[in-house]
């Protein structure tokens, strides 16, 4: 019977697997309070076809039940971290309460162009948990001073911008180069990438974007491919400054990830309307009987 | 937790462990109602380096830090229920409206004997 692993070992294992594009999960015994296993922890990781288990909760039967549970959680994209109970029948020493957590492959945000919008976007991307990469053909722009939050700074030629990086289903691209000509070249590369990136956003006014679509249709791109492009980019929040535009794009990324409505919550909840009579009498409702 | 939070915390944990320092990890394992942070939020209480991360700040976090001192002392993990359901109309900072369970555990070794079998 192997030993439990501690939180530091577990954190390192989960971080490493997520950064390598794999999935990992941990289970920690958090109850019942009198359990002799309190604080014991195990980790299961899957990278490609290979699964690996680290640590033990202190019982072969319990371990195998928990590994099965962790594997189920890892394959269910809607599974949430939290408390799970293992019944007494699976474990001779009685019921066990576990805290389970899953780490999925790290999402990447790739900023093509290191200009005014890329700077606040790198901050927001890191804040939202993306691993941020900044590409530019100008070495003076893609610098550590300008992008303290970026994971990678790459000098790239826009005629072959993704030569040094691997694009995959977790890649989120934002095309914000210094010229629309370069944005367009990079856009074509992004649309031809296989597997297709999760998000391809391109900066540009409505007019500019329209011209791009016309060009793409002339190049023979199908409607399904065009529909993958996020341009004009971001949510409609009236953004004007580079920082505001970055917020609009960040909001769009969260929306796609979480599946919200994009509306203001006050107009979804309509609190004022619920508290006042809909007949327009102006009299507040009785607060003891919630609408 | 964002990936960056995760990474910051993992590095802080690894650093403490490599320096042979015992510290305490607090994890929100369950919440009910509105709480400032959700399940999975973590805070490391490192007696040498202070706090890394947050489980929501304010009075709730203070309760967790108190528990961390006990855990550091005797090595036995605790589960703390933090109640933030004071009356909404009060000016108390604990008016988020929810309850959260925080698991507080030792990372590394304490010199004192503990009742927890290894």
Helix (H, G, I), strand (E, B) or coil at A268: helix
Residues A88, A217: Cα–Cα separation, whole Å: 63
Place of tokens 């007494």: A88
pLDDT computed for residue A285 by the predictor: 66
A193: pLDDT strictly greater than 90: yes
A142 and A225 inside one domain: yes
Q: CB-based contacts of A218: which residues, under 8 Å, 6+ apart?
A: none
Closest A-chain CA to B4: A129
Question: For residues B73 and B1, which has the higher predicted lDDT (pLDDT)?
Answer: B73
Domain assignment present for A67: yes
A283: pLDDT strictly greater than 80: no
Number of structural domains chain A divides into: 2
A163 and A98 inside one domain: no
Q: Write the pLDDT tens digit of every residue in A82-141.
A: 999 998 766 566 789 999 999 998 899 999 999 999 999 999 999 888 999 999 999 899
Sheet holding A199-202, edge to edge: A152-155, A131-136, A108-112, A171-175, A199-202, A229-230
Whichever domain contains A198, its CATH number is 3.40.50.720
Cβ pair A21, A4 in contact under 8 A: no
Q: Where are the domains of chain B?
A: 3-107
Cβ pair A37, A55 in contact under 8 A: no
Domain stops at, among A76, A103, A130: A103
pLDDT computed for residue A277 by the predictor: 65
Touching check for B6 and chain A: CB below 8 Å? yes
Query: Are the Cβ atoms of A7 and B29 closer than 8 angstroms?
Result: no
Cβ pair A173, A190 in contact under 8 A: yes
A289: pLDDT strictly greater than 60: no
A95 and A165 inside one domain: no
Domain assignment present for A279: no
From the candidates A4, A8, A128, which should be mutated to test the interface with B, based on the most B CB atoms within 10 A? A8
Runs of H (alpha helix) within A28-91: 60-75
Say whether pTM exceeds 0.80. no
Residues A7, B68: Cα–Cα separation, whole Å: 15
Domain stops at, among A75, A103, A131: A103
Domain assignment present for A209: yes
How many inter-chain contacts (A to B, CB under 8 Å) are there?
77
Share of chain A above pLDDT 90, in %: 73
Return the H-helix or E-strand segment holding A80.
Answer: none
- ipTM, 2 decimals? 0.87
Q: Write the pLDDT tens digit of every residue in A221-251.
A: 999 999 999 999 999 999 999 999 999 999 9
Domain stops at, among A71, A103, A135: A103
A253 and A196 inside one domain: yes
Domain assignment present for A93: yes
pLDDT computed for residue A270 by the predictor: 81
Touching check for B79 and chain A: CB below 8 Å? yes
Q: Write the pLDDT tens digit of every residue in A251-281.
A: 999 999 888 899 998 888 887 877 776 666 6
- Domain range for A96: 7-103
Return the H-helix or E-strand segment holding A269.
Answer: helix A265-269
Which tokens is A56 given?
Answer: 């033990």
| Contact residues on chain A for B16, CB-CB shorter than 8 A | 8
Average pLDDT, chain B: 85
Q: Write the pLDDT tens digit of every residue in B51-97.
A: 999 998 887 889 999 999 999 999 999 999 998 876 555 555 556 67
């Amino acid at each position: 019977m192997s030993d439990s692993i501690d939180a530091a070992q577990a954190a390192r294992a989960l971080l490493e697997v997520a950064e390598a594009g794999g999935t990992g999960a941990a289970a920690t015994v958090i109850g019942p309070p009198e359990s002799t296993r309190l604080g014991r922890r195990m980790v299961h990781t899957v990278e490609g076809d290979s699964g690996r288990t680290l640590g033990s909760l202190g019982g072969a039967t319990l371990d195998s039940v928990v590994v099965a549970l962790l594997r189920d959680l890892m394959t269910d994209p809607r599974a949430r971290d939290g408390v799970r109970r293992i019944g007494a029948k699976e474990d001779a020493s009685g019921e066990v309460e576990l805290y389970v957590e899953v780490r999925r492959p790290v999402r990447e945000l790739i900023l093509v162009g290191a200009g005014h919008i890329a700077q606040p976007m790198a901050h927001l991307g890191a804040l939202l948990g993306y691993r941020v990469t900044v590409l530019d053909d100008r070495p003076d722009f893609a610098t550590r001073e300008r992008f303290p939050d970026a994971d990678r700074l790459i000098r790239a030629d826009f005629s072959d911008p993704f030569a040094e990086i691997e694009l995959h289903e977790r890649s989120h691209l934002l095309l914000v180069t210094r010229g629309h000509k370069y944005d367009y070249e990079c856009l074509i590369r992004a649309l031809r990438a296989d597997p297709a990136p999760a998000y391809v956003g391109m900066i540009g006014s409505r007019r500019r974007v329209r011209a791009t679509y016309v060009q793409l249709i002339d190049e023979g791109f199908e409607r399904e491919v065009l529909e993958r492009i996020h341009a004009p980019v971001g949510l409609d929040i009236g953004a004007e400054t580079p920082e505001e535009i970055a917020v609009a794009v960040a909001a769009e990324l969260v929306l796609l990830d979480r599946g919200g409505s994009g509306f203001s919550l006050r107009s979804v909840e309509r609190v004022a309307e619920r508290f006042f009579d809909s007949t327009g009498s102006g009299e507040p409702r009785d607060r003891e009987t919630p609408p | 937790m964002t990936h960056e939070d995760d990474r910051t915390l993992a590095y802080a944990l690894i650093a403490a462990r490599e320096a042979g320092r015992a510290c305490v990890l607090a994890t929100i394992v369950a919440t009910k109602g509105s709480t400032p942070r959700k399940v999975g939020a973590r805070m490391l209480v490192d007696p040498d380096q202070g706090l890394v991360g947050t489980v929501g700040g304010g009075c709730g976090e203070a309760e967790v830090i108190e528990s961390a001192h006990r855990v550091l002392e005797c090595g036995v993990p605790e589960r703390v229920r933090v109640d933030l359901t004071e009356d909404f109309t009060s000016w108390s900072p604990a008016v988020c409206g929810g309850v959260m369970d925080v698991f507080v555990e030792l990372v590394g070794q304490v010199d004192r004997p503990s009742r927890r079998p290894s």
